[in-house]
Chains A and B, each alone.
Chain A
Amino acid sequence: GDSVTQMEGPVTLSEEAFLTINCTYTATGYPSLFWYVQYPGEGLQLLLKATKADDKGSNKGFEATYRKETTSFHLEKGSVQVSDSAVYFCALKSSGDKLTFGTGTRLAVRP
């Protein structure tokens, strides 16, 4: 079945550091890939997505590129801010319409 594996947290960084959160997947066919973010005290919200190989999703300075050859969708940001502190979830949607999520990675950014 479908599965998503993402790096375990927590990840602690200083402000303006470079961020990478790894995500790899196993799926049948050609899934759509997503990053969702959950800020403290808020609901889950879509951060970015990519629907086919080599697509790059981007939003709020975050980027992720759909790599079919390595079945990966790593999240990156060049310079994190304290306000980026949150839990980040990688997810996929293949056959059917349900999302399959990773376990989440907590990011803490220190001033």
Chain B
Amino acid sequence: GAGVSQSPSNKVTEKGKDVELRCDPISGHTALYWYRQRLGQGLEFLIYFQGNSAPDKSGLPSDRFSAERTGESVSTLTIQRTQQEDSAVYLCASSYQLAGGDTQYFGPGTRLTVL
């Protein structure tokens, strides 16, 4: 079946603008995660959604970052007033937590460049 999809694949924006990144998880997956990968670094956890529970926002780096998820479907990560240090690849992953599965399936990522 279809994997995790993300859009856009690339986004170039000017410092100070707002951006929205979209993630479509695998159908039926209850858990959704956002990570950030800066150049030459590992992935950093940003936020996690599980069903109707309150999201785990512990990884969000500042209040300029927010994310929403409607039910068990699409999620949007919003970065307000972008800064150059926000430049990174933003990765979304989903998993079927109710089965006790550990495996997270990743999308191809959105490469964000802030000029």
Contact = CB atoms under 8 A, between A and B. Distances in A.
A103 B40 contact: yes
| Chain A interface SS verdict (over half) | strand
A97 B48 contact: yes
Contacts, number: 58
Interface residues of A, number: 23
Given A44-B91, A46-B103, A98 B97 contact: no
Contact of A99 (B40, B43, B109): B43
Contact of B42 (A34, A97, A101): A101
Contacts of A102: 42
A69 interface: no
Nearest to A43: B108
Contacts of B45: 98-100
Interface in A21-57: 32, 34, 36, 42-46, 49, 51
Interface string A70-105: 000000000000000000010101001111111110
B48 A104 contact: no
A43 B106 contact: yes
Given A42-B108, A43-B109, A99-B43, A51 B56 contact: no
Interface residues of B, number: 27
A103 to B, nearest CB: 4
A4 interface: yes
Contact of A98 (B41, B48, B91, B108): B48
21 contacts: A4-B42, A42-B108, A43-B4, A43-B91, A43-B108, A44-B91, A45-B105, A46-B104, A46-B105, A51-B102, A97-B31, A97-B56, A97-B95, A97-B97, A99-B93, A100-B45, A101-B35, A101-B43, A102-B42, A103-B40, A103-B41
Interface of A: 4, 32, 34, 36, 42-46, 49, 51, 89, 91, 93, 96-104
